[in-house]
Amino acid sequence: MSELYSVRMRAAQGGPHENGGHHISGAERIVKLEEVGSIAQSLAERALHHSKGTADFINITVDLIPSNEITYIDCLQVEEHRANTIVEAHELAIELLQGPHITEVAIQNAINFLKGLDSSMRGAMLVDATTGKRIDEGKRGVRVSHMDSFDSESLGDNDHMREALVLASKVQSADGIVGELCWSDDPDYTVGYVACNGVYHRIPNMKELGSDIGGRVFFVQSDIDSKSVIEYLEKTPVLVQR
Ligand code: AMP
């Protein structure tokens, strides 16, 4: 089997992220050697034609992944839901996430944390699924990386949905994570989701059309070893299979 490479792109406007540039786009793939060039090109194109603006800084990183380091996981099941308003969407999110592992307080806090952001974070917040307290430190959040799907195209032609499904599948496969809440920072994209119990619940109208503030919350059990969970989310190469 040919070697696999992780190809990751991040793009910003007003200089690099680390110098205060505004984040425009980020995406990544795990692909065979012969696809590295074309995928790097398509990721660069994406950063240059984004509804959030044109990037003036694009960083593309490529690394070889030794094949024995890859973890294979199953894709979440997908369920589509309806909601006519943001209030309805958030009520549905609460109903779907609430259960033996996640309290209503934790979900309500998570929604309020996302609604209270004055700019989008790069990564996700970690929230204790019982107490609803935020446990990650700093403003960046946990940035999930090094994942793709084995046969990415079979997950559909909607980039947003495919990438979110891959990310959510990796997140739910982490020990101690019991749920996720997400809405996009893309102003055109108001569909969000919650993930729990092996299901990705796609929910429309999770935020105002035109808002460029989005975010993610990962609900974690109180007793997790957060260092090793973060290490898995950020560094372990994962391929999602159907
Ligand atoms: P997106 O669905 O790409 O618009 O992302 C929505 C929000 O989720 C962003 O504003 C970030 O706060 C967060 N986010 C995006 N990508 C990641 C990632 N790879 N890991 C963790 N959080 C992310």
64 and 116 within one domain: no
CA–CA distances in Å: residue 114 to residues 117, 119, 120, 190, 193: 6, 10, 9, 14, 13
The number of distinct structural domains making up the chain is 2
* CA of residue 170 to ligand 1 center, whole Å: 14
104-110 mean pLDDT:
98
* CA of residue 1 to ligand 1 center, whole Å: 32
Q: What is the pLDDT of residue 242?
A: 81
Final residue before a domain boundary, out of 45, 68, 91: 68
User: What residue numbers bound the domain in which 82 lies?
Assistant: 72-241
pLDDT at 186 over 80: yes
Rounded CA-CA distance 182/164 in Å is: 9
* CA of residue 155 to ligand 1 center, whole Å: 19
Q: What is the pLDDT of residue 122?
A: 87
- Non-local CB neighbours of 37 within 8 Å, separated by 6+ positions: none
Final residue before a domain boundary, out of 51, 68, 85: 68
109 and 23 within one domain: no
Nearest CA to ligand 1 atom 23: 123
Please report the atom of ligand 1 found closest to the CA of residue 121. 12
16-42 mean pLDDT:
94
- Cβ(226)–Cβ(135) below 8 Å: yes
Residue 101 exposed, middle or buried by CB count within 10 Å (0-12, 13-18, 19+): middle
| Secondary structure (DSSP) of 44-87 | HHHHHSBTTB--SEEEEEEEEE-GGGPEEEEPPEEEE---SSHH
9-19 mean pLDDT:
95
**124 C-beta closer than 6 A to ligand 1:** yes
Q: What is the pLDDT of residue 152?
A: 63
* CA of residue 186 to ligand 1 center, whole Å: 10
Q: What is the pLDDT of residue 157?
A: 67
- Non-local CB neighbours of 94 within 8 Å, separated by 6+ positions: 104, 107, 108, 111
Instruction: Give me the sign of the Cα torsion angle 85, 86, 89, 90.
Output: negative
**215 C-beta closer than 6 A to ligand 1:** yes
Q: What is the pLDDT of residue 156?
A: 67
**180 C-beta closer than 6 A to ligand 1:** no
Q: What is the pLDDT of residue 199?
A: 98
205 and 136 within one domain: yes
Which pLDDT tens digit goes with each residue over 58-71? 999 999 999 899 99
Final residue before a domain boundary, out of 68, 91, 115: 68
85 and 64 within one domain: no
Which pLDDT tens digit goes with each residue over 111-141? 999 999 998 898 999 999 999 999 998 888 9
The continuous run of DSSP H or E covering 13 comes out as: strand 4-13
Residue 52: CB atoms within 10 Å: 18
Q: What is the pLDDT of residue 171?
A: 98
**125 C-beta closer than 6 A to ligand 1:** no
104 and 77 within one domain: yes
Rounded CA-CA distance 33/202 in Å is: 33
Q: What percent of the chain has pLDDT over 70?
A: 97
Which pLDDT tens digit goes with each residue over 150-183? 776 666 668 888 999 999 999 999 999 999 999 9
22-38 mean pLDDT:
94
Mean pLDDT of the chain: 94
**8 C-beta closer than 6 A to ligand 1:** no
pLDDT at 210 over 80: yes
* CA of residue 38 to ligand 1 center, whole Å: 24
10 and 55 within one domain: yes
